[in-house]
Each structure stands twice: as structure tokens, then as C-alpha cells.
Amino acid sequence: MTAAPAPASAGLTLLLGLVIGLAALGMDLFLPAVPAIARAFDASPGAAQFCVTTYLLGLAGGQLLWGPVSDRYGRKPALLAGLALFLAASLAAATAQSLAAVAALRCAQGIAMSSGSVIARSVVRDLYAREHAAQLLGRMTVVFGLVPIFAPLAGAQALAWGWQAVFWLYAAIAAALLAAVALALSETAPPERAPIAPGRVAASFARLLGDRRFVAPLATLLCALVGIVAFVSNSSLVMVQALGLSPAGFSFAFAAIMVGHLAGGFACSRLVHRLGMAGLLRAGAALALAAGGTLAALAFAGVTHWSAIVAPMLAYVIALAFIVPNATAAALTPFPAMAGAASSLLGVLPFALGALASAALGAAFDGSARPMAAAVALAGAGAFAAERLLYARLPRGAVHG
């Protein structure tokens, strides 16, 4: 019998958890500043919301870049390049003189910060497979869970010095992570590295998208993530504009919801060897369905208290913490030689659809939580259907290392 691989060190888990949280940091730290940026440039809330949409577009596009780059040049050099771009874009945004410039630099931030999630997932697949990979991803989710709790609070506090302070804070975080990765991260990519050629990359993507072992967990993950992106991108408009919360009140409500990442990630890391990836994925999809349906029912019933959003979204985030590590591990495990390309696809599709959802919700905002709640409910139903109709029907043992 093959011995179980040694667990990842606490230091590596912490670093990967922070790095995989970069995409969320780019949203959560910025969200309290959206109304302030709208006022600063005498723009409508919907126009300022476009800075969220451009960020999501950058995240989506960057996913396609960093996976093949890290497969070719290694995880560490690619991540250092991404963090350097993150630092440069943040410094430039802090001195931007127009809303259009902020929106463009938010796109650059998205491209840069997408490197974190792509490369962190690739590092996990370099080191582990199946439940061992899901366990490490679950532990990383606990670390990642600190980001959406504290980032909105930090963003709200930074606004005391103006909206530019949010970008100065981003620059400080980028510089700290650059130093940490340079000093502490070892290279994990396989020594055999294929050259980057558009035809080869396209062939890898086509092979992955034609394989049920990849598509089944991807579909479940895709739907679940579109739901949370729809919520996060629209949450400041709903809670501040519709419910009348202050930026500080919004940040506390948002942080309360994101406690679900900690609870769900901790439970996932403890239960995955007992219940398996399939069991936790099924539980997460069922909970996402129930949480999204409850959110929509309360919104369309006219309930406008903040708890009608916080309670069901807390449950949805717990569901997400079950779905993401296990669907990711299931999708990556069969493809060790294409970990970077597979990780890219796992990110680009949710964020591309999330950008469309963000733009649509910004346009559909009617002063209530109804459009956002409907989007989350549809996403939860999609995740449940994908798990039942696709993943659960994979042949036993189809996901193997």
C-alpha cells in the first residue's frame, strides 16, 4: 500500500490560503469604496459599479494566462510576476484622476490577482490528489475565509483617508506577499515543461472540456461560484442603497456572512476523509439550493431587514466552502500533467459569467434585493442540478490520480 503523503506545513497552508484569497480581496476590500468613488467623480452608483465589472473581466482573462505560463515557467516565477503587476496597478490606481482610469486599472488588478487562485490550485495538485488535495484546499479555505471577514472592515476604515487609501492598502499587501513568496515558496511544477504554443494550449483546453471527469465537477463549481460573485458584486448597492446601511454597517454585515468560509472550510477539512469528496459535494449543492431559494423567497415577499440577506447568504457561503475544495480536487486529480491549464479553466468560466452577472445586476438594480436574490437562487439550483445530473452519474472510481 502506498504511504499517505505528508501533510502540508502550517506555513505553506497559510501562504497558499492568502494567495488563493487574492481574487476575493480584490472585491471585498474595494466594495465599501464604491459609493465614495461614485461621489468623488460625480457618477451614478451603477457607473461606479463598472469598476467591479472590469475587475471581474480582468480576473476572467487572467485565468487563461497564468495557468499555461506557470506550466511553462514554473509556479513561483509566474506568481511573482502576478504580484508585481498587482503592486504596479494598485500604485497607479491610487493616483488616478478619472473614473475611467480607475476602471481600467481595476481590470489590470484583476489580471494580476487572478494569478493567486490559479497558481495556488496548481501547487496543490502538484503535491496532492483526491481527498488529500481536498483536505489541503479545505484548510486553505479556513485561511481564505479571513479575507472576506476582515477586508470589508479594513476597506471601510481606510475610507476615512479617502477612496485612494484603499489602493494604497492594496499596494502594501502586494509588497508583503511579494516578499513572502520570494522567501518562502518552493517550486513545485513538474520538471518537464511544454512550450507555450496557442495550438497546444487550445488542445489542452479542448481535451479537458471534452472529458466528463473534468466537466461534471466544473459545472457544479461554476454555478455555485456565479451565485457568490453575483451577491458580492451587487451587495454594496443592495445593502447601502436599498437597505440604508452605512458603509461600516455593510462591512459588518458582509463579514458576518463570510464567517461561513471559516465554518465550512474547517468542517470540510475534518470531514473529507470520512464522507469523501462526493458526499461533501452533494451536501454543499443541496445547501446551496436551500439557501438560494430562501433568499429569493424573502426578497420577493418584501422582507427588507438586513437579516433576510445575512442569514441565507451565510448558509450559501457554508455550502460554497463544501463545494469549492471538493469540486476543485475532483476536477484536477485526473490531470496532473495539465494542472495549470485545468486550474485556468476552473477560474475563467466562473469569473467570466460573474462579470456578465455583475453588469446585468448593476443595470437591473431596482432599489431592492430582488434581482440579486433571483440570481443567487438560480445559481444554487444550477449547482444542485449539476451535482445530481452530472457528477453523481460519473462511473465509480472515474476521478483518480
* DSSP sequence for 298-329: HHHTT--STHHHHHHHHHHHHHHHHHHHHHHH
401 domain-assigned: no
147 domain-assigned: yes
Average pLDDT along the chain, 401 residues, taken 10 residues at a time: 64 88 88 85 78 86 85 90 97 94 95 91 80 77 78 86 94 96 88 71 85 91 89 82 79 84 79 82 95 96 90 94 87 79 78 78 82 94 94 69 42
Distance CA 30, CA 260 (A): 20
Query: How distant is the alpha carbon of residue 65 from its chain centre?
Result: 17
Distance CA 63, CA 254 (A): 26
Residue appearing with cell numbers 480582468: 58
121 domain-assigned: yes
Q: Output the pLDDT for position 319.
A: 94
Q: Output the pLDDT for position 264.
A: 82
3 domain-assigned: no
4 domain-assigned: no
CA-wise closest residue to 299 among 230, 226, 383: 230
Q: Output the pLDDT for position 399.
A: 54
Q: Output the pLDDT for position 386.
A: 94
399 domain-assigned: no
Distance CA 353, CA 343 (A): 16
CA distances from 368 to 33, 126, 372 (A): 20, 45, 9
42 domain-assigned: yes
Query: Any idea what the CATH number is for the domain that residue 80 is in?
Result: 1.20.1250.20
Q: Output the pLDDT for position 1.
A: 42
Q: Which domain holds residue 120?
A: 10-188+197-393
Distance CA 56, CA 54 (A): 5
Domain count, the chain: 1
Q: Output the pLDDT for position 4.
A: 59
Q: Output the pLDDT for position 397.
A: 60
119 domain-assigned: yes
Q: Output the pLDDT for position 45.
A: 67
